Amino acid sequence: MLMSLVEELRFGTVFPELAGSRVLISGVSSQLGVDISRAFADHKARLLLQMSETSIAMDEVANMLALSACDLKIYNGHLLEAEEATKFAKGPAQQAFGGLDVIINLITLTPADLVSAGELEDIEAIVSHKLLSPTLMSRVVANRMRLTMNDGLILNVLHAPPVHDARSAALASLIGATLATITRKEAENWAPEGIRINAITHGSATEDMLSGSMLGAPEPVGEPELAALALYLASKRGAMLSGQVYDTANVSIA
């Protein structure tokens, strides 16, 4: 199914119903989120971006997005801890536009994340550190959607760096599998409220990586394709999709 979607979306499908939609994208950085943000800005969405880094380059990105988005607000606070994420979801995230229609959680694994885990406790800490905050934030936003009887989309996007050893690949795969489990469970819980929850695990480990053979492994799709998929899932055409987990590492784009 993913391959057919990617093939279709390569041709620049436009979704006019997204104009004016209220979209939160958290974890935007120079590594992930620029193309996704630009895709929604080009559709005239109202964007609230939580940026995980501050730099001249990211200031230029914000200026570029402001030219096309219906409205643009930037939040530069960190959301690494559960308490920070919860407070943000209850306050600034809701106040920016009086509610949200779409929330996209960008979760980035770094090479340091993959090499720092030694004991089982370290692995559990990394999994919790990366996934707990976006999960709690999504629940707060979903509950607000429920109270306002507003159908919405929550999309979790996991980006992992290239891995060069079986151990790092296994850890990346574990985090991806945990996110998939959380996404499917949350989708089941919120389905009666009309809230859809999906995930994209971008660059997760393949069987070839886990077996120690990196040769011949397909390149993951790029962020423009991720952006197109995010637009599709947020549109009317994706309204029936929930609990879906797309592993883009196994799709090759010519």
Average pLDDT over residues 227-235: 93
pLDDT higher at 169 or 7: 169
pLDDT higher at 219 or 221: 221
What digits encode the pLDDT tens for the residues 132-183?
A: 999 999 999 999 999 999 999 999 999 988 777 777 888 888 899 999 999 9
**Hey, how many other C-beta atoms are within 10 angstroms of the C-beta on 254?**
3
Average pLDDT, the chain: 85
| Nearby residues of 168 by Cβ (< 8 Å), 6 or more positions away | 111, 114, 115
Closest CA to 110 of 177, 59, 54, 163: 163
Domains of the chain in start order, with CATH, are 2-6+23-250 (3.40.50.720)
Where would I find the beta strands (DSSP E) of the chain?
22-28, 46-51, 71-75, 102-108, 152-159, 195-202, 245-247
pTM: 0.88
Pairing of strands 102-108, 22-28: parallel
Q: Which amino acid is at 237?
A: R
Average pLDDT over residues 92-115: 91
Q: Given this model, what pLDDT does residue 221 score?
A: 67
